[in-house]
Amino acid sequence: MVLAILLIASHPITHLRRAILPDITKVSFLGMGIMGSAMAFNLLKNGQTAAVWNRSQSRASLAELAGAGAAVKAGLEDCVADADIVFTCLGDEQDVISRLTGPTDSVLAFARKGALVVDFSTIGPAAARTVNASLAAAGLRFLDAPVTGGDVGAKNGTLTIMVGGAEADFAEALPFLEMMGKNIRYCGPSGAGQALKLCNQVLCAVNMVSVCEAFALADRLDLDRNLVVDVLQSGAGGSWALANLGKRILQDDLKPAFSLRNMLKDLRLVFDSINLDDDDISNRQSLPGTALSVELFGAVAAENEQAPDAFGTQAMIRAYDQQKAKNLTASGFANTSEELSKR
């Protein structure tokens, strides 16, 4: 079967490849959150049958997926036992390690030997290599394939997917990844996809600082915030964050496409990944913009118990608006940066 899939994956006619694969490959998908459910829908839209599972069986997306043709499974074993490829979109690194490689109620415990496991979660390079080693010892294959593009990219099938692992396994998974993403790149051995994703999260975090500071400056200069987005999104200072999350800020839409909890987790992974020999202070000094974004995201997340999950990353604007309300001066920002450098 692997040889057949590899031959099909190399075929230049993508639509032919997609037409054939659903008949010969059994696919499972674990984790039907905002991202996972949208990605599973795109598999179904492209003619791929799929069995899906979620830890909480009360999610509304499960009924919607069932209506679209997915086989919704109540148990993990029933979902993965016969799968050729198991896709997962889960939580933090401990959740992924437990769900994929735990001794019981895990993919390792239930999947057939030779199955390919493709994880879209952001767990960091070290955890990806740990999962890869554990699955390989059990006769399973693994790709770390974190994604970026947000809920919009997941719904539209335009995600960027960064993949680490064996190149032959990447070739096998590629036809399915093409159903869920647009910019799909093989990055290198196990953990390489995660490494590039952490670079992406640094870009996202610091871009959010720049968007919020542009709005803060516009306020100080008595300028309509709408002009910042409408005019500047197509200029040299434009970015995905400005064009998409900037618009949500203007609409006072702070609901999460990507939650504060998840962003803070990813930025923790950034510092964890470089905190092998160096102390925490030198790590933060080496990435001062990222350290400042952690401080600002953290300030909003600390507002109340619901904030980490109730707010998306664009809610960073609340930290700036609160500073404005308190009439903080520019020296206040300088003092904050100085304090960060000492931590």
Alpha-carbon distance 10 to 1, whole Å?
14
Residue with tokens 């995905």: 240
Q: What does the alpha-carbon distance between residue 136 and residue 128 come to, in Å, rounded to a whole number? A: 12
Q: Exactly one of 182, 197, 255, 342 is catalytic; which is it?
A: 197
Can you name the residues that pair with 161 across neighbouring β-strands?
Answer: 147, 184
- How far apart CA 26 and CA 53 sit, in angstroms, is 14
- Residue-wise burial string across 233-271, b where 16 or more C-beta atoms lie within 10 A, e elsewhere: beeeeebbbbebbbebbbeeebebbbbbbbbbbbbebbb
- The b/e string for 28-55 (b: 16+ C-beta within 10 A; e otherwise) is bbbbbbbbbbbbbbbbbebebebbbbbe
Residue among 30, 165, 4 nearest 91 (CA): 30
* CA-closest candidate to residue 101, choices 54, 53, 134: 134
Q: Is 188 left (phi over 0), alpha (psi -120 to 50) or beta?
A: left
Measured from the Cβ of residue 275, the count of other Cβ atoms closer than 10 Å reads 14
Q: State yes or no: is 197 an active-site residue.
A: yes
| 260 within 8 A of 272, measured Cβ to Cβ | no
Please check whether residue 248 is in contact with residue 300, taking contact to mean a CB–CB distance below 8 angstroms: no
Element (H, E) at 295: helix 288-301
- Point out the residues that are catalytic: 197
